Every structure is written in structure tokens, then in C-alpha cells.
Amino acid sequence: MKKLQELLSPLDIIKIIGSDDKNITALTSDSRKVEDGTLFVAVPGVSVDGHRFIPMAEEKGAVAVVCQELPSELSTHVTYIVVPSSALALGYLASQWFDNPSRKLKLVGVTGTNGKTTTATLIYEMARLLGHKAGLLSTVCNYVDEKAYPTDHTTPDPYTLNEMLHLMVEAGCEYAAMEVSSHAADQQRIAGLHFVGGVFTNLTRDHLDYHKTFEAYLAAKKKFFDMLPAEAFALTNADDKVGEVMLQNTRAHRYTYSLRSDADFRGRIVESRLDGTLLSLNGNEVELLFTGKFNAYNLTAVYGACVLIGWQKEDVLREMSRLVPVAGRFQAFHSPKGYTAIVDYAHTPDAVVNVLNAIREVIGKDGEIITVVGAGGNRDKGKRPIMAREAAARSERLILTSDNPRFEEPEDILHDMEEGLDEEARKRTLHITDRRQAIRTAATLAGKGSVILIAGKGHEDYQEIKGVKHHFDDREVIMEIIADEK
């Protein structure tokens, strides 16, 4: 239970109607969860406007309502708090509700199109390797110290987010790493959080279904750096076109990392293999269990973030070799037939390019790459033909297949992808909607030394079809196929 007055203290308030001397027993922005004594926050959403549900919330026992516009009928039992932005207010309220857990942790946020999960997870892992208790909020899984909590968002809603941070504080965690998605920044899910640092990975095309333009997408990501406090660090990728723009207006201390030029944290690939990389970090050579230039970027960012957090350079460098890849990110499986299958979460054109370049660098121009890839339904359609074109340009053979079709017809998605292929590429392309069958076919075609890339679903253990998640796991499928070959 909390006093309404106390909850409202950090808010920018236009006006209050009614008493703020009340006890509040629950906080929610979902009218369906309202019970007696609740503070209901009416948030204009993407599909509906939460203001519509104010009457329902009142009927169910809400004693206070935070809104941008007053409802036409006011109840005398309810206190109305009018604010400029309910979404922003919800962030601050959720922080207050859980006693500002982000201020009791050293919280680092990671944003960018690709590499967020990898970077955030490795910062969390590094904290643990160095003997600290830590938490993680990521696309794959949330962790409070070593306890796993399932997640279905990259960045949860403000209530869940602060609840998780609160659990971390309760468990004695000192550090936390989290992904900041562009949706989350745009919808103010991170409002009110206190970060000790922010990391930018890169910006390429994704989520234009939601943000509409690349500029709006960039603005959403930049918002995160704009909110960092002056004592925080902001670490950006100097090699990315917009790396500098991200930090343009931040108050935080600015740092850079790069694989190409002089930077605060300078990475250089010394040797690249399918099972690892020898990376030089500010002149110190480190053996890594990660493959590809894109991972050299991630690990350079991780190194920078860890040093900026305040850990000793020598300790960080020593432990980097013990970091292991994140589930479904460049995960390799070796067949007795002599081919290697790589399951990777590449689901954007840029990620597809990077992963295929990483494989090509290692196996050389004469090696054979067979790529199995699809694209998600009800998501950015514009990326589909580009993903197919880039995959075809970097693979000897391409098998287009279904990803998570959601509410679209898989055939339509594959058709959109095929639009990106010219005649020559089409000749090397198969179209097998059934994902299991597509992977099987790739395994049949593969010979000694071939590499099969199974892209797009990584750690996902389901295929989402018309609102139902059916069990499906690329890693399980390839392991079964390989077991049959023995």
C-alpha cells in the first residue's frame, strides 16, 4: 500500500480533482486488472485508447485515475489527476510503486537494431563471472541473479519492468543490464528509470511497420540517450553512421568503440574461425568463443561497458574468454556428414548480411553456404525482399520458408520475399513453406564442408500461427536430423 500523494510526487501535473490524501492498494494501466483501491492510469495505446476504460475501472473500484483528458462524467469517490502524458506518468508511478529500484542498482541499458540481447546478456554474465550478483532483462529470458523468469517482450511494460528490478534489489543484486527496444523508448516504458550507462550497438532497417520512417526509428532510440543523467556513461559505436548522432544531445559522459579507427575502446580482429575469434582490445589479445565481425563489435562494446561500469580492466580481459554465446545466436551443430549447421536469430537484412559475411570469411569463396530463412508475419513487410536478396547474394543455395506467420498467410510472406530475387537468384532458390521440411532439405543437400545457416528464429521454441504458439525449435530439429545421420 502507498499514499497517493507520495506516488504522485515525481509527476508533472496539470490539475488534480479530488483528494490526494488516499491509500492506494494497486497500480495498473489495464482496466481488466483493477480492484478496490486501485490507481488506474489511462494510456492512449497503439490499438485502443485507455481513456475509454475509465468508467470500467471506476466500476471495478478504482479510487484514483491518472489521465490526459478528463472523462465526461466525474465520480465523487475518485481523484482525477490530469497529466501531459499518461505513458510518461506510468513509468514514474511504476518506479515509485516499487520504491525506485533502478536507483538501488547499477543499471545499464543497451539499444540498437541488432546485438542488444548479446551485449546486455554478456554484461550480466561478466558481472557474475566477477563475483557480483546481477539481473538481466532481455528478449530471451529475464534473470534475477540466477533465477530465470520467462519473458515475451524485449523491454517489458513499466510495471513488470520495475517489478523485476525490485526483485533484483530484494535478491541482493548490485548490477543489472537491460535491452531498450525502440518500441519501449517510444512508448515511455523506460520513463523514470535511473541508468548508470547506455550502450548503442547499431542502427539499420527494422520495425518500420511501427515507426513508419527511419528518422522516427532513430529518434526513438536517441530518446534513451537524451534521458541519461550527467553522471552516466554513453558508449556508442563510432563505426555506425548514426553512432555520433545518438549522443548529440546527451548529458552523459561520451565514449566510443570501434573496429576501424581510434576510439576509447578499440577492437581489432587478429584471427577469425567458425568456433571463435582472436580479438585485440586496446592492444590486449583475447581468445573469444564468438564468431564474426558483428560479434567483435558486440564484445568490444561489452569490454567498454564493463570498464565504464568500474570493473578492473585486467579482470574483465581475463574473464572475456569465458563468455559463451547467447542461446540461438550463431549456435553451431556439427554433422557426421561433415557439414556445420548454424542457428541464428538474424531477422533483419543487416543481421542476415553480417552473419553470412561472418561465415564466408571463415569458409572462403569456394565453400558452400545453404541458407534457410523466412520473415515474420504482421511485421515490417519492406524488409522481406531485401532479406531474400541479401541472403541469395551470399549463399550458394537459398531455401525460403515460414517464420512466425502470425495472422498472415505464409505463402504471401514468401511471395514478398521472392520479389527481391532476380532470375539468376531464383534458379538457386527453393520455396518450402514447412520449416521442418526446409531444414531437412538443406541437410540433404549439404556436403562435407558446407555450412547451413538457419536464420530468423534463434532461441524461439515456437512457431506462432494465427494467435497460437506451436512448439517448434530450429535447434531441436537440426539435432534430430544430425542424430539420424549417425
Ligand X SMILES: CC(=O)N[C@H]1[C@@H](OP(=O)(O)OP(=O)(O)OC[C@H]2O[C@@H](n3ccc(=O)[nH]c3=O)[C@H](O)[C@@H]2O)O[C@H](CO)[C@@H](O)[C@@H]1O[C@H](C)C(=O)N[C@@H](C)C(=O)N[C@H](CCC(=O)O)C(=O)O
Nearest to 299 by CA among 276, 279, 270, 328: 279
Is 312 annotated as contributing to ligand binding? no
Q: Please identify, using beta-carbon distances, which residue of 100 and 155 lies nearer to Mg ion.
A: 155
Is 198 annotated as contributing to ligand binding? no
372 contacts 365 by C-beta, under 8 angstroms: no
Is 384 annotated as contributing to ligand binding? no
Q: Please identify, using beta-carbon distances, which residue of 102 and 119 lies nearer to ligand ATP.
A: 119
Residue 104 interacts with which of Mg ion, ligand ATP, ligand API, none, CB < 5 to 8 Å by class: none
Binding site for ligand API (CB under 6 A): 154, 347, 376, 379, 403-404, 456-457, 460
Binding test (CB under 6 A) with ligand ATP, winner from 51, 116, 222, 266: 116
Is 460 annotated as contributing to ligand binding? yes
Enumerate the H helices of 395-434 as residue ranges. 410-418, 423-427
> At closest approach, how far in Å is the CB of 190 from ligand API?
17
Per-residue cell: 88: 510518461
Nearest to 153 by CA among 116, 119, 196: 116
233 contacts 255 by C-beta, under 8 angstroms: yes
> At closest approach, how far in Å is the CB of 408 from ligand API?
11
170 contacts 101 by C-beta, under 8 angstroms: no
- Verify binding: residue 114, ligand ATP, rule CB under 6 A: yes
> At closest approach, how far in Å is the CB of 139 from Mg ion?
3
Residues 6+ apart with CB under 8 A from 31: 40, 50, 53, 54, 56, 57, 60
- Verify binding: residue 116, Mg ion, rule CB under 5 A: yes
- Verify binding: residue 410, ligand ATP, rule CB under 6 A: no
- Verify binding: residue 221, ligand ATP, rule CB under 6 A: no
> At closest approach, how far in Å is the CB of 210 from ligand ATP?
12
> At closest approach, how far in Å is the CB of 380 from ligand X?
10
Residue 43 interacts with which of ligand API, Mg ion, ligand X, none, CB < 5 to 8 Å by class: ligand X
How many residues bind ligand ATP (CB under 6 A)? The answer is 22
Binding site for ligand X (CB under 6 A): 29-32, 43, 45-48, 50, 53, 153-155, 157, 181, 183-184, 187, 189
Q: DSSP string of 341-393?
A: EEEE---SHHHHHHHHHHHHHHH-TTS-EEEEE---TTS-STHHHHHHHHHHH
Binding test (CB under 6 A) with ligand ATP, winner from 154, 187, 188, 395: 154
In sequence order, what are the beta bridge partners of 279?
A: 269, 286
CA–centroid distance for 331 within its chain: 18
Per-residue cell: 15: 490539475
Question: How do beta strands 106-111 and 462-465 pair?
Answer: unpaired
391 contacts 438 by C-beta, under 8 angstroms: no
358 contacts 330 by C-beta, under 8 angstroms: yes
Is 405 annotated as contributing to ligand binding? yes
Q: Please identify, using beta-carbon distances, which residue of 267 and 385 lies nearer to ligand API.
A: 385
Count the residues in the chain.
Answer: 486
Is 189 annotated as contributing to ligand binding? yes
Task: Quickly count: other Cβ atoms within 10 Å of residue 212's Cβ.
Answer: 10
Residue 79 interacts with which of ligand API, ligand X, Mg ion, none, CB < 5 to 8 Å by class: none
Residue 115 interacts with which of ligand X, ligand ATP, Mg ion, none, CB < 5 to 8 Å by class: ligand ATP
Residue 456 interacts with which of ligand API, ligand ATP, ligand X, none, CB < 5 to 8 Å by class: ligand API
Is 112 annotated as contributing to ligand binding? yes
Q: Please identify, using beta-carbon distances, which residue of 223 and 379 lies nearer to ligand API.
A: 379
Residue 403 interacts with which of ligand X, ligand ATP, ligand API, none, CB < 5 to 8 Å by class: ligand API
DSSP 222: H
- Verify binding: residue 119, Mg ion, rule CB under 5 A: no
> At closest approach, how far in Å is the CB of 171 from ligand X?
23
Residues 6+ apart with CB under 8 A from 71: 51, 54, 55, 65, 80
29 contacts 50 by C-beta, under 8 angstroms: yes
- Verify binding: residue 345, ligand ATP, rule CB under 6 A: yes
- Verify binding: residue 346, ligand ATP, rule CB under 6 A: yes
CA–CA gap between residue 61 and residue 485 (Å, rounded): 62
Per-residue cell: 264: 576509447
Q: What are phi and psi of 411, to 5 degrees?
A: -60, -40
- Verify binding: residue 102, ligand ATP, rule CB under 6 A: no
Per-residue cell: 395: 549463399
Interface with ligand ATP in residues 156-185 (CB under 6 A): 179
Q: Please identify, using beta-carbon distances, which residue of 97 and 330 lies nearer to ligand ATP.
A: 330
> At closest approach, how far in Å is the CB of 376 from ligand API?
2
CA–CA gap between residue 26 and residue 24 (Å, rounded): 6
> At closest approach, how far in Å is the CB of 208 from ligand ATP?
14
CA–CA gap between residue 443 and residue 447 (Å, rounded): 8
CA–CA gap between residue 23 and residue 25 (Å, rounded): 7
Amino acid (1-letter code) at residue 352: V
Q: Which residues are annotated as a binding site?
A: 31, 112-118, 154-155, 181, 187, 189, 379, 403-406, 456, 460
Binding site for Mg ion (CB under 5 A): 116-117, 139, 154, 179
Binding site for ligand ATP (CB under 6 A): 114-118, 139, 154, 179, 201-202, 294, 297-298, 329, 344-346, 350-351, 354-355, 458
